[in-house]
Chain A
Amino acid sequence: MSNDILVLAEHDGQAVSDITFELLGAARRLASGSGGQVAVALVGGAGLTGTLGAASTVYVVDGTSGAIYSPEVFEKAFLGVLKEADPRLVLTGTSTMGIDVAGALSVAWPAPVVSYVVGLEAEGTELVATSQIYGGKLMAEVAIGGPHAICAVIAGSFPADAGRSDGTPEVREVAVAGLDSARTTPRGVHEPDTSGVDIAAAEVLVSVGRGIGGKENLEVVQELADALGAPLAASRPITDQGWLPKPQQVGKSGKKVKPRAYLAFGISGAPEHLEGMRDAELIIACNTDPNAPIFDVAHYGTTADLFDLAPELAEKLGS
């Protein structure tokens, strides 16, 4: 049984994503204890191997569609690498790619999957993964003892710097048959909408979540945002409902923001939202539920009703 760890790389054709470096850092730390090697599987993006110096080997599969992501092509390509590299542990993110490939690979390889991982430790010959489930309300500790396992790790769980290293890892090309005959055909990538306000550039953000109740109530927080000269941002339910434009969404599927102050109104703090704003310098959260997870990352909190608090605050700041 090998002790090798294989990281499934994510990239947009131009650069390798942060999550990949986070996983590489975690893999290096685990491998230094267990004596295994760290490798990366890269589908498309063959020009990016130079940034993957934290790995000793990079397995490159040239996908038929170049850099464009396609679940079926990536899954087949990764399976080809898994068969060749035979690692003990496969690391991926809980990103779209990770959600797509982890489950399907677990059946084909086969191996248990542990999702929503935020911690990984070696315990003798076993690995122990810690995961965040039930929306972050509970943690699960899972023992990984078998010859194969796949862990899907939540972004931001490990430092990316620990996995960033230029270098010349050994590059091994893997030929995978059948990529041409995939039943999935990419039709194009949409880049982020950059029209309208750029919330990522704002010094202060007033952000609103499900607690606002309805589009007609946005006026209350808009007045506060105006008093602060700040744009409005939102959590996913608000942009899904169409109450605010998609480019104003903060979180995993929206933007990552790091303002000097983030004022959260009626946002409970799902892990996907926290991923996008937890690095703000100052977080002030208003939520009527004292157990809302947003208070775990906020510096200041209040359980006041946002419909009482926001107008009061707008008035005090406006005067």
Chain B
Amino acid sequence: MRILVLMRQLPDLVEELEISSEGTDIDRELVKFVMNEFDDQALEEALLLKESSGAEVVVVALDEPDVDQALYTAIAKGADRAVKLTGVSNERWMSTHERAAILAPYVEESAADLVLTGVQAADDLDGQLAGVLAGLLGLPHAAVVVGVELKDSTVLVTQELGGGRSVDEEIDLPAVLGLQAARQAPRYAPISKIRQVTQAGGIEEVAAHTPPEASATAISLRRLYVPERSGHAEMLEGTPGEVAERIAEILRSRGLVKG
């Protein structure tokens, strides 16, 4: 049983994003890149499946800024192999369809039984990876997955439907799943272990396939802009005691305080 975990880097949203001079991408010079948090959930689920079934876990990423750090961290957490697909432009926004077209031949050649990735990414403007990739490969798929259990030739999946509803389904392998949350919070790898793994090296570099031009699915991005704030909170200033007093007054004036 081989599980591929498709991971990717994203700008750290804790920091401010600036728009490039062309107006259709973010300024990537000063951005700090971190692993997509949902891919981290996918990795955790894969590691849990490895623990219960002995599956091999292979993490795969395109060559993107600071991706080595993410791949070594994945190995430190327990992934068996890490693969970096090289030779793709990594200094601009890449659409989901392009990303999927680069990954699809690799996934096909890797003879994976199960492909896990994050349910979404903060910049996947043209759709989410699991569905597009499964579409290209003709595989069954499910997104917003919160539970995965391996059987012999199928996988039992729980999908959230929103509003607290969920559905269980059994999907034939191979399949592609977009993870919302692993069954437990993603584990941490000790820094010392990451350092040790990094020193040992071991990221496999594989030349990426050049994707065919896919004009039928290409979107035409006109511009990015910072949203105008339609409204903003009235900010309460002062010491915590003064702010608390103001909030208490607001709640009392609306009859929301009992007693």
Contacts and interface: CB of A to CB of B under 8 A. Distances in A.
Given A140-B221, A186-B168, A71 B141 contact: yes
Nearest to A236: B181
Contacts of A303: 235
Nearest to A118: B227
Contact of A107 (B124, B135, B162, B235): B135
A242 B146 CA distance: 13
A140 to B, nearest CB: 5
Contact of A72 (B140, B217, B218, B240): B140
Size range of the chain B interface in the assembly: 35 or more
Interface stretch (A26-34, A81-89, A166-174, A247-255): A247-255
A137 B13 contact: yes
A113 B235 contact: no
B144 interface: yes
Nearest to B252: A317
Looking at chain B's contact residues, is the secondary structure mostly helix, strand, loop, or mixed? mixed
B226 interface: yes
B216 to A, nearest CB: 4
Max chain B Cβ within 10 angstroms of own Cβ: one of A111, A190, A263, A283 = A190
A128 B222 CA distance: 9
A256 interface: yes
Interface string B228-251: 011111111100110111111011
Nearest to B126: A113
Max chain A Cβ within 10 angstroms of own Cβ: one of B156, B162, B236 = B162
Nearest to A259: B256
Contacts of A115: 124-128
Max chain B Cβ within 10 angstroms of own Cβ: one of A100, A261, A285 = A100
A68 B161 CA distance: 11
B247 A96 contact: no
A141 B221 contact: yes
A298 B131 contact: no
Size range of the chain A interface in the assembly: 35 or more
Given A69-B161, A282-B250, A184 B140 contact: yes
A112 B230 contact: no
A103 B169 contact: no
A302 to B, nearest CB: 5
Contacts of A313: 244, 247-248
A116 B94 CA distance: 17
Given A113-B126, A115-B127, A304-B240, A99 B224 contact: no
Nearest to B143: A99
Contacts, number: 278
Given A96-B162, A138-B225, A313-B244, A112 B132 contact: no
A112 B84 CA distance: 28
A230 to B, nearest CB: 9
A51 interface: no
Contacts of B226: 137-139
B136 to A, nearest CB: 6
Interface stretch (B61-69, B108-116, B170-178, B191-199): B170-178
B166 interface: yes
B168 A183 contact: no
B119 interface: yes
Given A112-B216, A256-B163, A300-B234, A141 B225 contact: yes
B243 A296 contact: no
B144 A106 contact: no
A302 B239 CA distance: 10
A296 B232 contact: yes
A189 B231 contact: no
A112 B217 contact: yes
Interface in B123-154: 123-136, 140-144
Nearest to A294: B233
A317 to B, nearest CB: 6
Contacts of A285: 233
Contacts of A138: 17, 19, 26, 224-227
A281 to B, nearest CB: 8
A277 B1 CA distance: 43
A69 B233 CA distance: 40
A102 B97 CA distance: 12
B11 A134 contact: yes
A110 B131 contact: no
A253 B162 contact: yes
B254 A261 contact: yes
Max chain A Cβ within 10 angstroms of own Cβ: one of B127, B129, B236 = B127
Contacts of A308: 240
B120 interface: yes
Given A134-B123, A228-B251, A316-B245, A298 B167 contact: no
19 contacts: A70-B169, A96-B160, A100-B143, A102-B131, A103-B128, A112-B220, A134-B122, A143-B222, A183-B140, A184-B172, A187-B170, A228-B258, A240-B181, A253-B180, A300-B235, A300-B236, A302-B243, A312-B244, A313-B244
Given A72-B141, A113-B219, 17 more contacts: A69-B161, A71-B143, A96-B161, A103-B130, A104-B134, A106-B132, A146-B216, A190-B168, A193-B164, A228-B257, A261-B254, A282-B254, A295-B235, A297-B231, A298-B233, A302-B236, A316-B244
